Structure 1
Amino acid sequence: MINSSPTASILVRLRKASSAEDFFSLLGVDYDPNIVNVARLHILKRMGQYFAQEQFAGAAEPEIRARCKAMLEQAYADFVASSPIQERVFKVLKDAVADSRKPAAFVPLSELK
């Protein structure tokens, strides 16, 4: 668990978080530990994708907190309704699908020595 001052901004506190559970705790989001144990990195990566689309400049702290909470709730919901394999947030999983759609190289037996 992080030891950040409760008066620090939520963005500062999230930056110091060291586990998925810290994010859920800081933002007050309920979760099933079984889902987080399977998809923790995927949930945080998806939240990061949502986060990258946000602009917080000029927003008040309560609004920033609410928006961060909504992003984590959405990222978590993505993996409650689906699986890491289906969501494919990491490049290696995206590449696995792309590779499986390519036709296999054909080598005739006469070419083998």
Structure 2
Amino acid sequence: MFDEDLTLEEAMEELSSAEDFLNFFEISFDTTVVLVNRLHIMQRYHDYLADSADMLEGYEGNDKAIYDAYKVLLEKAYQDFVNSDAKTEAVLKIYKMQGPQTTFVSADTLLEGL
């Protein structure tokens, strides 16, 4: 739980790693899961927050309610990777791409700067 002398936003400004977030929200976690999936967990958490933005607006000014909602969403994001893997969850853009991506650059374009 965050220090009552700070707002939730102020307390969260100090968080910089997936472990910081999990500890802040008092979520027990397996270090191995976080080491392998930290970026995926945080991206999924971000996605869940974005999807819940309308609901969270209703909690404006109530740090305790927002804290509890954030905790539920982070726990859900973490559990997604306890029970699955990054490729299956396809959180990051690289996993959403269909086939190899190619870009054409003409020789004229390459020679323009010479």
Question: Which TM-score tier does this pair reach, normalised by the shorter chain?
Answer: 0.7 to 0.9
Same amino acid, percent of matched pairs = 33
Equivalent in the alignment of 2:87: 85
CA drift at 1:12: 3.2
* Residues 12-37 of structure 1 deviation map (CA, whole Å, 9 limit, x = unaligned): 32243111111011111110000000
1: CA distance, partners of 2:47 / 2:10: 18
- Of residues 21, 40, 43, the one that matches 2:41 is 43
Post-superposition CA distance 1:28-82 (Å, at most 9, x none): 1110000000000000000000011223335111110110000000000100110
Question: What is residue 67 of structure 2 aligned with on the other side?
Answer: 65
Matches within 5 A, 1:1-113: 6=3, 7-55=5-53, 56-59=56-59, 60-95=62-97, 98-99=98-99
1:32 maps to a residue whose letter is D
Q: Secondary structure at the match of 1:99?
A: coil
SS of 2:78's partner is: helix
TM (norm. structure 1) is 0.75
- Gap runs ≥5 in structure 1: 101-113
Distance in 2 (alpha carbons) for counterparts of 1:53 and 1:11: 19
Residues 11 and 54 (structure 1 numbering): CA distance in 2 closer, same or farther, change over 3 Å? farther
Structure 2 stretches lacking a partner, 5+ long: 101-114
